[in-house]
């Protein structure tokens, strides 16, 4: 039943989501290399009118299932091809995910706990960051959350449907999480008989009807090439072997979570501790959320390939746990919760300030004032937090954290990132290329820049190893090259003869050999 309070809370959640995500969505070019990969693949779906077999640079591409490509392609049709359109599905599903968390928290706990959980989720640093990113992680998180919350609320056909959509978003990991978390929960609560109520036969049919057709079509059209590449390499091999060896540390996700949950990190361990001790009627829901968050964290910790975005699916259950905990502490006027929170926040911000200070010693003088402004925002948030904690004002602490994140993200998206963005995208280099290209000479692009270059120039170029730059030059009397500056600077002088530098942006350089 929708009442006035519920409508106001939904309006608040949507308003915060809009201010955090939507108004900044097209501010920055797509960041290399991941965002342009998804945008370019969706664009080629439209160009080839083939919505079954993803392609990039005209070649079939088996990296991910098609869900996010479909969403971006639809967004391109609706808004036109742009950065805003490429990121729109992530922003939309981030807002929808917060609404989902509110409705579930409201039903399981109470209205205030649900609202707190939604605000915590949407203002967490990593959730905000990925709501702005044209990558698959927010889409997976939304469908996983829909499936697991449907399971908890015993909406089983919805559970099977959302689980299938998660599998069409990112592959077997969707099935792994939905199946293992649900089963572990039934074992932990000694409720395996619930399996009899889950309409398994009908559920398997629903799941298969939604998840199987695309995979069956891909196997039909591409055979073992698809199976070996998608399942063998992109799922099994990447789990067992690190794609980025420098990031395979066992503790990789500990700092990621502590920073990614900011500014709500101080309540993380408190809420888990309180949930573990809870013996009331919400105990089973809390067990479910702890299992959900823990399993996602452990799964990706054991995975040898690690990326910051992988643990995003644990943020919804963590937000619900913290929302429940803060609501309980608020109702019982446990001021010590706020003081502990402010103390931990102090330690976290001291670490952040130290990081900003260290970074200031390695950037240009023009960037240093921007880092100082960021440091000032964090200090003001901390002081306001301590003030509200001293007054035992729970509402004040919530308002400070939400408002502080909105101020910081506004500064981040309108001042800091636009200034630093040229280091992370290929739009300017691509624009310079299109103004100077002779439309016939070969184009060689370093792998890292190729997706962004292809998206913004419309020319995929040929991927090559920059370590072989001189050998490639020797074979091509007339060609364009996009590489890191260091490879150009390290060339022997004789190879620089008859070379014209067209553009140099941060660490990237575009040059042409010959006289096109």
pLDDT of residue 234: 60
% of the chain exceeding 70 in pLDDT: 96
Note whether 224 and 286 are within 8 A (CB): no
Alpha helix stretches (DSSP H) within 262-393: 268-277, 283-302, 315-331, 335-360, 368-390
> Once rounded to an integer, what is the mean pLDDT over residues 476-501?
86
This prediction's pTM: 0.94
> Once rounded to an integer, what is the mean pLDDT over residues 480-488?
92
pLDDT of residue 474: 83
Phi and psi at 438, nearest 5°, equal: -90, 0
Q: How confident is the model at residue 241 (pLDDT cuts 50, 70, 90)?
A: low
pLDDT of residue 243: 63
How high does pLDDT run on average in the chain?
Answer: 92
Domain boundaries, the chain: 4-226, 333-423, 427-513
pLDDT of residue 245: 63
Assess whether pLDDT exceeds 80 at residue 242. Answer: no
CB atoms within 10 A of CB 328: 20
With vertex at residue 283, the alpha carbon angle to CA 277 and CA 285, rounded to the nearest 5 degrees, is 130
Note whether 397 and 338 are within 8 A (CB): yes
Assess whether pLDDT exceeds 60 at residue 309. Answer: yes
> Once rounded to an integer, what is the mean pLDDT over residues 272-298?
95
Q: How far is 198 from 201, CA to CA, in rounded Å?
A: 9
Is the bond into 163 cis (omega within 30 degrees of 0)?
no
> Once rounded to an integer, what is the mean pLDDT over residues 399-406?
96
Assess whether pLDDT exceeds 80 at residue 282. Answer: yes
Assess whether pLDDT exceeds 60 at residue 516. Answer: no
Q: How far is 267 from 285, CA to CA, in rounded Å?
A: 18
Q: Which of 18, 57, 21 is nearest to 40 (CA)?
A: 57
Name, in order, each residue with C-beta under 8 angstroms of 480's C-beta and a sequence gap of 6 or more. Answer: 433, 437, 441, 442, 443, 444, 461, 502, 510, 511, 512, 516
């Amino acid at each position: 039943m929708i009442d006035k309070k519920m409508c106001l809370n939904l309006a608040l959640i949507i308003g915060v989501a809009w201010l955090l995500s939507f108004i900044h969505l097209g501010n920055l070019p797509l960041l290399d290399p991941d965002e342009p990969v998804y945008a370019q693949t969706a664009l080629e779906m439209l160009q080839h009118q083939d919505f079954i077999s993803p392609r990039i640079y005209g070649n079939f591409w088996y990296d991910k299932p098609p869900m996010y490509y479909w969403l971006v392609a639809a967004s391109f049709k609706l808004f036109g091809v742009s950065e805003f359109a490429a990121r729109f599905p992530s922003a939309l599903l981030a807002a929808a995910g917060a609404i989902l968390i509110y409705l579930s928290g409201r039903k399981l706990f109470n209205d205030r706990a649900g609202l707190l959980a939604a605000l915590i989720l949407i203002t967490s640093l990593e959730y905000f960051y990925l709501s702005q990113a044209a990558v698959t992680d927010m889409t997976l998180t939304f469908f996983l959350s829909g499936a697991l919350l449907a399971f908890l609320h015993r909406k089983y056909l919805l559970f099977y449907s959302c689980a299938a959509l998660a599998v069409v978003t990112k592959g077997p990991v969707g099935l792994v999480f939905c199946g293992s978390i649900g089963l572990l929960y039934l074992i932990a609560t000694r409720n395996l008989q619930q399996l009899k109520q889950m309409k398994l036969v009908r559920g398997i049919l629903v799941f298969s009807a939604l998840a199987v057709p695309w995979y069956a079509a891909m196997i039909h059209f591409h055979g073992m090439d698809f199976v070996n590449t998608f399942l063998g390499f992109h799922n099994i091999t990447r789990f067992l072997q690190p794609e980025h060896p420098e990031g395979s540390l066992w503790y990789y996700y500990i700092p990621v979570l502590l920073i990614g949950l900011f500014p709500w990190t101080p309540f993380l361990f408190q809420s888990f501790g309180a949930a573990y001790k809870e013996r009331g009627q919400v105990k089973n829901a809390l067990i479910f959320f702890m299992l959900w968050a823990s399993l996602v964290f452990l799964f990706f910790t054991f995975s040898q390939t690690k990326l910051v975005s992988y643990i995003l699916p644990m943020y919804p259950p963590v937000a619900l746990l913290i929302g429940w905990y803060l609501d309980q502490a608020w109702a019982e006027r446990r001021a010590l919760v706020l003081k502990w929170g402010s103390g931990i926040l102090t330690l976290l911000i001291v670490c952040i300030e130290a990081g900003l200070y260290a970074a200031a010693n390695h950037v240009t003088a023009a960037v240093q004032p921007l880092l100082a402004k960021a440091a000032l925002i964090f200090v003001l948030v901390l002081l306001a937090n301590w003030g509200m904690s001293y007054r035992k004002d729970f509402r004040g602490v919530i308002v400070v954290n939400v408002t502080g994140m909105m101020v910081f993200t506004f500064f981040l998206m309108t001042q800091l990132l636009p200034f630093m963005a040229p280091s992370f995208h290929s739009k300017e280099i691509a624009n310079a290329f299109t103004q100077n290209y002779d439309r016939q000479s070969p184009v060689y692009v370093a792998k890292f820049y190729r997706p962004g270059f292809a998206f913004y120039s419309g020319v995929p170029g040929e991927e090559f190893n920059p370590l072989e730059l001189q050998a490639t030059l020797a074979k091509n009397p007339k060609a364009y090259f996009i590489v890191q500056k260091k490879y150009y600077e390290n060339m022997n002088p004789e190879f620089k003869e008859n070379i014209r530098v067209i553009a140099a942006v941060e660490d990237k350089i575009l040059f042409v050999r010959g006289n096109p």
